[in-house]
Amino acid sequence: MENNKNNKSSEVGSLSNGMNPQEAEKKLQQTQADLEKELKDLGEVPEMGSDVDAFDTETDEAEEYSKNLGIKDSLKGRLQAVKDALAKIQSGTYGKCEKCGMQIPEEILEVNPEARFCSHCNK
């Protein structure tokens, strides 16, 4: 008997909505990698020195950093949703609406693999 440690996605052939959990997991893992790269590429807090001669440069850096904060928050939220969806695959609850417990249609999961709600509950 093969030892398959905590890999529930390989135990399930397909979800009741017809979606293959291995495909969903692969898609989510790629999305996770993309989001992590995007967050890294946005950079860190710019160094604001005591150099008053470069005030315009520092103002531009502060403005760009401020703009990137909103983007980072959005990306972090999506990254957490992706991680939550991956955890659901492992626990065998992926694709179930968090409100009503019904299966989320495959069409929704194809477009938004980290979806938490069915179309009815998402209204």
Whether the CA torsion 39, 80, 9, 108 is positive or negative: it is: negative
pLDDT (mean) for 16-41: 87
Domain range holding 65? 17-42+55-111
Q: Is residue 8 part of a domain?
A: no
Q: Is residue 64 part of a domain?
A: yes
**Would you state the pLDDT for residue 87?**
97
Whether the CA torsion 66, 71, 77, 80 is positive or negative: it is: negative
Domain count, the chain: 1
Q: Is residue 80 part of a domain?
A: yes
Higher per-residue pLDDT: 16 or 69: 69
Is residue 52 classed as helix, strand or coil in its secondary structure?
helix
Higher per-residue pLDDT: 16 or 44: 44
Is the pTM higher than 0.85?
no
Please check the confidence at residue 9 and state whether its pLDDT lies above 50.
no
Q: Is residue 116 part of a domain?
A: no
Q: Is residue 37 part of a domain?
A: yes
Whole-number mean pLDDT of the chain? 80
